Amino acid sequence: MNPAKLARLLADGNITQDEHDTGVADWNAKQQAQDEADSAQQFVDEVSKAPIAMKKKMIKEKSIDLRVEAALCEDRFDARQKQRKASYLSNALRGAGGMSF
């Protein structure tokens, strides 16, 4: 349920404050996951349309960004996921041929 509907239910007395807070937290988590998925898909689309030299540059920049985010992340699980994704991107550049950066 969206936050507006949860607020209405809370005002009507149909749910408790704890249920409202849990529902809003779940909604925010789902929205964040959806935004990240959309952002990832947009990056994939941009990379697929770019010429090879630009693809390599974009992937290298994204890999560096992910490594920095992983270093700054306090959650070890998220940091490891970002580090792993950066490694996958770096490995994808190997064997691609063409220009080196």
Distance CA 3, CA 75 (A): 27
What pLDDT does 2 receive? Answer: 87
Residues 29 and 45 occupy one common structural domain? yes
Residues 13 and 38 occupy one common structural domain? yes
Domain of 40 in residue numbering reads as 1-49
The answer to whether residue 23 scores a pLDDT higher than 60 is: yes
User: For residue 23, is it left (φ>0), alpha (ψ between -120 and 50) or beta?
Assistant: alpha
The answer to whether residue 72 scores a pLDDT higher than 90 is: yes
How many CB atoms sit inside 10 A of residue 6's CB? 20
What pLDDT does 46 receive? Answer: 92
For the record, the structure tokens of 2 come out as 């969206």
For the record, the structure tokens of 26 come out as 């779940």
pTM of the model: 0.65
What pLDDT does 52 receive? Answer: 86
What pLDDT does 96 receive? Answer: 62
Residues 80 and 41 occupy one common structural domain? no
Distances, alpha carbon 50 to alpha carbons 35, 47, 56, in Å: 23, 5, 9
pLDDT band (50, 70, 90) for residue 36:
confident
Q: Is residue 27 part of a domain?
A: yes
User: How many structural domains are present in the chain?
Assistant: 2
Residues 84 and 43 occupy one common structural domain? no
